[in-house]
Amino acid sequence: MIGKLKHNLLLACLVISSLTVFYLGRYALECHHKIDHNGKLQQVLSNGRSLNYVSGTGLKNNSNRFVYNKDMPLIFIGGVPRSGTTLMRAMLDAHPDVRCGEETRVIPRILGMKHMWSKSVREKQRLDEAGVTDEVLDSAMQAFLLEIIVKHGEPAKYLCNKDPFALKSLTYLSKIFPNAKFILMIRDGRASVHSMITRKVTIAGFDLSSYRDCLTKWNRAIETMYNQCLETGFNKCLPVHYEQLVLHPTTWMKNVLKFLDIPWNTAVLHHEEMIGKVGGVSLSKVERSTDQVIKPVNIEALTKWVGKIPHDVVREMPAIAPMLAKLGYDPYANPPNYGKPDATVIENTKRVVRGFFQLPEFLQEHPEVEVKKIKERVRNVLQKEMPITKD
């Protein structure tokens, strides 16, 4: 009896041992498979995400695969609104290797939210307690911004983003995108403010009924971006003065492309010819600058502000906007001497005055764009040449 019981127990142990070995072996195989899978996944993530796309010919094949990651050489264009950011991105968009596209609007907002989370000690503590550390947030921001930049337009060798106030977070963007470069557009604050007021460009925090308030806010915004540009270094951030860009477009676009390590292409000097074309310049029907960048580079907007700013604000200009002097503008000059335009720019301006520029079809159909008013406005600017004679 006892011998039979021992035999049964031994048999039971053998069965249990066999089952244990079987399941342990199966589990080991599953673990190996998961480790191998995760290893491949990690390799994919380190190389970047990929995107299949249809080429300009309408054909899709295996070669049309675009890989993107945080280490790609992104370009960010920014500055205070009405400072030439749209012109710069349109000129770059004309380059066959570059795609900027319209403003996304969401990028500066999500960056602003991230700044608020980091600035609040209590919110930072709550996020850390929840395991949402700076590393987690940075990774999420990289992924979110990349998806927006990559997928809101056609793939290109060089991708850029133009959301003016994104450069308020220039230092942070430089941290999460280590190979990114930044173009900070700078314009005489008096001209920027006059433009936003007369064109009724709504900007959060700017009181468009007050030149004093808008100039104060302009000063604060450009100071923030300029200081971050200096901190990041001129090897990664290039300040570009709007006035010099429109006076000397060839010189400055060569400087810009050299800074970005992008080969020179004369197409950047004729962005208006690339509007609406495949691989060219895509414009928004609702952005305020669209009706201006359809024209060739010209000097019709340089001194529109002269005589339009209230006298009390003009008298106190150095105190209201001290960044004017810091950026090289004379706060007492009305009008200032920005320099002498290149001959090609003078010819472009004459063409604009005479209305000899092509209006894209989609703008002709859009009710918000009044062609006659555009042409009437520019005809009043120049008869022969702008009164700008100093080099």
Residues recognised as catalytic? 103
Amino acid identity for residue 326 in this structure: K
* Calpha distance 367→173 (Å, rounded): 38
Specify the 3-state DSSP secondary structure of 20. helix
Amino acid identity for residue 367 in this structure: P
Nearest Cα to Cα of residue 382 among 299, 295, 305: 299
* Tokens (6 digits) for 330: 């004379």
Judge whether 246 and 190 are in contact, CB under 8 Å.
Answer: no
Judge whether 345 and 249 are in contact, CB under 8 Å.
Answer: yes
* Calpha distance 350→58 (Å, rounded): 39
Judge whether 293 and 100 are in contact, CB under 8 Å.
Answer: no
CA 113 to mean position of chain CA atoms? 17
* Tokens (6 digits) for 262: 């992008």
* Calpha distance 196→199 (Å, rounded): 5
